[in-house]
Structure 1
């Protein structure tokens, strides 16, 4: 089997999202992500261990059109380090046959949070509804802009989201605070209406693009 054939097989593996339960591991790896993305976004691993004695923990996902840019922000009350992972477009230009999935791997950075920055992030997230009742029924469409949040705070697990455009999305103060801390803030895709794309619509009709919708449930995605 030559390298190009191997790449074709690997690329085919990425054509859909699996629903295997995420229990840890490198979500930045495209193969791992393929099988565990929905569980990771839903925070199933966090919910399984969230209890009164566990540290507070936050996982936020900013979907700036799936396949173009996705940013993951995580932090907890123990290390107080903001972990940032960026999933890019997987542009085939510059692809290496030595690592055919290299352009789909997440780029990671970390930023230390001083007590003030940590407290401000938690306060902004709380004011935006991040720890309150989930937005049950809210649909988060892959070809759109949205935030998804999985949190464990004071022993209580919550999953919720904010979609663009909406008043809730616009008033979510945590977004600006996170972006200000992001070393690559200049590359962040701001939310905007999705323009009509003739080629995309053609490929979608031919089942050549992947689209999916997450729905917020009482305790996770559609739960």
Structure 2
């Protein structure tokens, strides 16, 4: 019970390099809780884009922070890539170093930022996701949310689907990504995971497994208590003890 309260009570305040803190606040981060608090109170737009290509293998995040018009406009992109732990990168003085991911920042001028917003709009990023969409942690999808013009938005682009293949932000985003790590090769559409692996497969493979359900305003269920999220694997075992 104490562990469940700890995990559920943590709220995200933006991306973090600490892999433990990242796991404790991941659902809140996906839900954009920290962005919602300030939406409508600050003049600048803020977007968050999360690419999940199996949570245990490859995750990348982009926090896009718009600058106020009075200060010249434009935006800053904070990119982070988190891949499966690579022991070759392990620092003996920092045992968690291999799970911290690689980060990079890039500044966009007003014209570049406006063009990128246009690509997001053309991709349907400001439109709500399909009703009742459920996404497994071993699946492949983009979650995009943020505050635009003082209004909150939340969208999802699962693979395979037209919302994913028709996304027009992928090419410019890769050009703006300064991490040096390319997007992973996608499986054939017929081979893409659409549900969580069986309990036996989870036990054999290890890792953390969960499923989220999205709606037009964000994740279904309160971020403070996991709500309708369905954790499984080692995390579920701990919560059920």
| TM-score, normalized by the shorter chain, greater than 0.5 | yes
Runs of 4+ in 1 over 3 A off after TM superposition: 17-21, 193-196, 200-203
In structure 2, do the counterparts of structure 1 residues 26 and 116 end up closer, same or farther at CA, with 3 Å as the change threshold?
closer
Pair 1:111 & 2:100 matched: no
Alignment of 1:60-209 (within 5 A): 60-78=49-67, 80-184=75-179, 187-193=182-188, 194=191, 203-206=201-204, 208-209=206-207
How far 1:114 sits from its partner (Å)?
2.0
CA deviations over 1:167-198 (Å, ceiling 9, x no partner): 110001112210121134552213224589xx
Structure 2 Cα separation of the partners of residues 28 and 191 of structure 1? 26
In structure 2, do the counterparts of structure 1 residues 96 and 188 end up closer, same or farther at CA, with 3 Å as the change threshold?
same
Structure 1 Cα separation of the partners of residues 101 and 9 of structure 2? 20
TM-score between both structures, scaled by the size of structure 2: 0.75
SS in 1 for 2:9: coil
Conservation of the 8 A alpha-carbon contact between 2:103 and 2:179 = no
Structure 2 Cα separation of the partners of residues 20 and 136 of structure 1? 27
RMSD of aligned Cα (Å): 2.6
Conservation of the 8 A alpha-carbon contact between 2:79 and 2:178 = no
Structure 2 Cα separation of the partners of residues 128 and 103 of structure 1? 34
- Could you list the runs of 5+ residues in structure 2 that have no partner in the other structure? 68-73, 222-241
How far 1:208 sits from its partner (Å)?
2.8
TM-score between both structures, scaled by the size of structure 1: 0.81
- Could you list the runs of 5+ residues in structure 1 that have no partner in the other structure? 1-12
Structure 1 Cα separation of the partners of residues 168 and 186 of structure 2? 15
